[in-house]
Structure 1
Amino acid sequence: EIGRAYLDATSHAYGGAEGEAVSVPGAFADRVAEADLLVHTGDDPGRDILEGSADVAFIGGFSAALAALGKNADVIVLDTTDPQKPKPRSVGEAVSRVVRARAVNPRFIAGQMRHGPRGASEFAETVDRLLGFAETTLAVSGTLIEAVHDAYLGDPEVRAFILRENPAAAKFIAERFLSARRRGLWYPLRNSVDDDLAALIAEAQGVAA
């Protein structure tokens, strides 16, 4: 369970001459349970919350921990790229903005397709972070998941690129989307999506064999 795992991993106290960590079960859970608001700032204009694992680990872990404790708190992503005009957004708004501006942007997709296996890995990482937010915050709409699925796997050219250049990434992407389906995070408009994802997994395994 994600929330409990987050609390177990973060419930430590540090001290002593060497600054050693000592497990303090329940200590951080008490602090999380008292929270009314989490503000996560971002000041790098060249990076967004679907790049790297730190944002989803922090925001998602905290949100899942709150849910595990039966608590609620507002979670705000604060854009401070312009310190004079900070822009607060909900997690859903922040993720949606990145999906629309970058993840499904044809220019981004075309750019990654010029980078072979690494480009395919970038698609896989984007899917992983998007679904990580969906699983932990429940703030990502099925419409966004559908948009990314259609951009990467619904487009025959992009799907073929990922499968050809990085079968492991193709398999990972398909498995993550299937997991989202099974968790009820996404209800595709097309009934054939589950079969298509299973077929891609089989194809990727065949290419890698």
Structure 2
Amino acid sequence: MMEILKKINWDKPEWRAIKEKILELNRKIEDSKEIESLLHGFSGGYIPSGPSGLITRGRDDVLPTGRNFYSLDPHRVPTKSAYEIGKRLAEKLIEKHLNEEGRFPENVAFYWQCTDIMWADGEGMGQIMHLLGVKPLWLSNGRVKGFEIIPVKELGRPRIDVTIRVSGITRDNFPMCIELIDEAVQAVAFLDEPEDMNFIRKHTMEQLAQNGADLRSATLRIFCSMPGTYQAGTQLAVYASAWREEKDLAEVFLYWNGYAYGKGVWGESKHKELANALKTVDITYNKVVSDEYDLFGCCCYFGTHGGMTAAARHLSGKEVKTYYGDTRNPEHVEVRDLADEIRRVVRTKLLNPKWIEGMKRHGYKGAADISKRIGRIYGWEATTKEVDDWIFDDITRTFMMNEENRKFFEEHNPWALEEIARRLIEAAERGLWSPSEDVKEALKALYLEIEGWIEEKMGDTKGNFQGGSIDVVTAEEVEYWKKKMQEVIS
């Protein structure tokens, strides 16, 4: 690399500009004072403010770091460039479904996270707007003042309906973005257009005719958990083994997330409306923005996207598609199957020897993080059935049957390996994974060995220990829980 740099004629204008930019970035990095700012803040001192964002998205204004960062002006979302990326995502999604099913999707269910706004300036929001057939209107200063409806003739396709589960952070921090999408839905729902060219209108009219909904309820498309609460509920049921079949997870998702949000509606109980919307869903969708985070990085990914998929499949009685967008490179956006995204991240991170060695350097915490990621893979399989058997096979061979890695867990965090083993056994017992008999027996034997490690480490501690047996308890078997569920979703 140094030899190449030496051959460059830095006096040429084009190279001089690049050199100056590199030197500027280097200066900003050297001027970063993270530890100093942290200690200064502990002392009650003033820390200058600065913007946040992804430097990989060209946001070099986040440098130098060590400032008291703020997010963004939500009234500028989506930006013009983000909207253009969102348009391409929408077109890729439609094209993929057309190629696979030979028809336009009628309803796309989104998991709309705050990262779309805070990291990607509203690409997903732009995608939603383009599916609806509207586009933002910007003031000269970049602020969004509203939207305009794209004539269906100009659009060249039907308007696609959306069902959106916003994250709790999106709900609490970006209400103006939620209200803009809600207003767009209401605007297109009552356009004088054929229903086969306007699926929002089609589904709204169906709700009015078949379900006796009022006009406002029939146009509700944005949902979340109850105000002041977070998570989708589904991940809690998965981790607690409180489910037997897809129906159980679907009901938990519906129970937890049936609160509507929009213009003049904020957290109203609208479980029936959520259920009706999910019945028409053809695709559930989320996207990746940066390699810094992925769909195994938090249980909210499978809890929400996976839970929404389970609910849509159960309520509609059809095989709902699961798609994943990719805007890590904004110049080359993609929409792929969720199963392909799972495979990509498993190969590049979880089963990557370099990644594993990096995690092992963190001892107890590294072992815990590996265990959490494997638990989330189990969560994706429980909610969507989109995880290949080979992934569970390789997890078993890599972390359970590999002596070196097993010794690492024994030394640093045997509880993490116990959790991995227990989830693998549960996956096999539930029929989510079909291991060979020798792998299954080896796994059970290794689990007994791990229990021995833990008992030795616990010493003289008295009381019961959780063993490898999985006790499944659902709402049907807990009277209070059953009653609460029936009150809300029946």
Structure-1-length-normalised TM-score: 0.90
Determine if the alignment matches structure 1 residue 41 to structure 2 residue 287. Answer: yes
- What is the distance in 1 between the residues matched to 2:393 and 2:447? 17
Structure 1 runs not aligned, ≥5 long? none
Q: CA deviation at 1:183?
A: 1.0
Equivalent of 1:51, from 293, 297, 302? 297
Identify the range of structure 1 (21-30 vs 129-138) with the bigger mean alpha-carbon deviation.
21-30
Distance 1:7 1:207, change over 3 A: farther
Counterpart position of 2:306: 60
- What is the distance in 2 between the residues matched to 1:15 and 1:97? 36
Q: CA deviation at 1:124?
A: 0.5
Counterpart position of 1:129: 376
Equivalent of 2:454, from 182, 186, 205? 205
**Contact 1:11 1:24 (C-alpha < 8 Å) held by counterparts:** yes
Q: Which of structures 1 and 2 has the bigger CA Rg?
A: 2
Q: CA deviation at 1:204?
A: 4.5
Counterpart position of 2:267: 21
Q: CA deviation at 1:187?
A: 2.1
Distance 1:197 1:88, change over 3 A: farther
- What is the distance in 2 between the residues matched to 1:33 and 1:20? 23
**Contact 2:421 2:443 (C-alpha < 8 Å) held by counterparts:** no
Letter in 1 for 2:279: A
Q: CA deviation at 1:201?
A: 4.5
Determine if the alignment matches structure 1 residue 144 to structure 2 residue 391. Answer: yes
Q: CA deviation at 1:196?
A: 2.5
Determine helix, strand or coil for the equivalent of 2:271: coil
Report how many aligned residue pairs link the two structures: 208
Counterpart position of 1:97: 344
Q: CA deviation at 1:79?
A: 0.6
Determine helix, strand or coil for the equivalent of 1:34: coil
Q: CA deviation at 1:73?
A: 2.0
Q: CA deviation at 1:15?
A: 7.4
Counterpart position of 1:74: 321
Q: CA deviation at 1:76?
A: 0.6
- What is the distance in 1 between the residues matched to 2:379 and 2:457? 26
Determine if the alignment matches structure 1 residue 167 to structure 2 residue 414. Answer: yes
Determine if the alignment matches structure 1 residue 196 to structure 2 residue 442. Answer: no
- What is the distance in 2 between the residues matched to 1:152 and 1:86? 34
- What is the distance in 2 between the residues matched to 1:39 and 1:140? 16
What RMSD over aligned residues (CA atoms) do the two structures have, in Å? 2.0
Equivalent of 2:431, from 184, 201, 206? 184
Distance 1:180 1:204, change over 3 A: farther
Deviation per CA, 1:80-135, whole angstroms, max 9, x where unpaired? 11122111111111101111111111111111111110010111111111111111
Counterpart position of 1:32: 278
- What is the distance in 1 between the residues matched to 2:397 and 2:391? 10
Q: CA deviation at 1:142?
A: 0.8
Structure 2 runs not aligned, ≥5 long? 1-247, 459-490
- What is the distance in 1 between the residues matched to 2:369 and 2:271? 37
Structure-2-length-normalised TM-score: 0.40
